[in-house]
Amino acid sequence: MRPSLTAVALLLLLHAYGTNAADFAAKGVAPPTPVADYDFLGWLGDALGNGPVLERIGGPGTGYVEVTADGNTRLVLSVPEGAGLRLASGPLLPLDTYSIAMIVSLSSTNSYAKLLDTNALTVDSGLYARNNQLRYYTAGQATSTSFPDGVLRQVVVTRAANGTYTGYLDGFQQFSFDDSTAGQGTPISAQRLLHFLRDDDITGNSEESNAVIHRIRLFDSALSAAQVAALEANRGDLVSLFRRGNFESTP
């Protein structure tokens, strides 16, 4: 039987877009525009000029290091265990509706290592790596070990006004849960502080890993899955992530 014209057209379309689901979605949806974009190119400021400067907290040793990939060399921020970053976010984000994208690698994703805290370090709840997975303690747990040690990943979380909280790695959903009662602490608390790579005071700032952070982008909306996919050129290999993080080029 001869293939129908429709089937041929579909095959050509799949060929043009690639067969990767994230690729397909990325090409159909415009990449979302952040309200703040911390690129760590030798400073802690927002490249868009909207957000305040990040503050180094905790222990010593945070500093810029050069990394090379894809023929390019750039600065990134090394944040050793015991140190972290704080952002007094002010009116930048609605407290119950936001998305945060971090391009980061952790030396150890096996034990609990806190990536993001929205509660001024006053609760244990938050976004972690654990068991080589992305984890929201307590309600969100990835089912695959897709967060290996020492590998650059783009971590994205989205928080919608209806309470839906979803975590992604390199554009692929890892978990989603309903926090409409805010029992999991996903809203930004009244202090309006965001902490990155810093454990809370409840567990003694001990649940951390050495980390290298390439980029943090903040969005004042809950990105859709297609928009999250549009942040990825493809599966998020080092080269493509590096290229996007470095030079803002289109995929």
Interacting residues with Ca ion (CB under 5 A): 84, 124, 197, 199-200, 203, 207-208
By beta-carbon proximity to Ca ion, the closer residue of 161 and 202 is 202
Taking CA atoms, 226 is separated from 30, 106, 140, 177, in Å, by: 9, 26, 20, 18
- Closest separation between CB of residue 123 and Ca ion, Å? 8
Q: Which is nearer to Ca ion, 37 or 124 (CB)?
A: 124
Residue 207 beta carbon to Ca ion: minimum distance, rounded to whole angstroms: 4
In the complex, the smallest distance separating the C-beta of residue 56 from Ca ion, rounded to whole angstroms, is 10
Please identify, using beta-carbon distances, which residue of 62 and 246 lies nearer to Ca ion. 62
Both tokens of 111, joined, read 């034990």
Q: What's the closest the beta carbon of residue 37 comes to Ca ion, in angstroms?
A: 21
Q: What residue is closest to Ca ion based on CB?
A: 203
Q: What is the C-alpha separation between 153 and 169, in angstroms, rounded?
A: 6
- For Ca ion, the closer of residues 62 and 240 by Cβ is 62
Closest contact distance (angstroms) between CB of 220 and Ca ion is: 26
Q: At what angle do helices 21-28 and 5-17 cross, to 10 degrees?
A: 90
Q: CB nearer to Ca ion: give 156 or 197.
A: 197
DSSP E strands in the chain: the ranges are: 36-38, 55-58, 63-69, 72-79, 83-88, 98-106, 113-117, 126-130, 133-137, 140-141, 153-159, 164-169, 172-178, 193-196, 211-219
Cβ-in-10-Å burial (0-12, 13-18, 19+) of 203 comes to middle
- CB closer to Ca ion, 160 vs 212: 212
List for the chain the helix, strand, coil content (%; round to 5). 15, 35, 50
The CB-of-19 to Ca ion minimum distance in angstroms stands at: 38
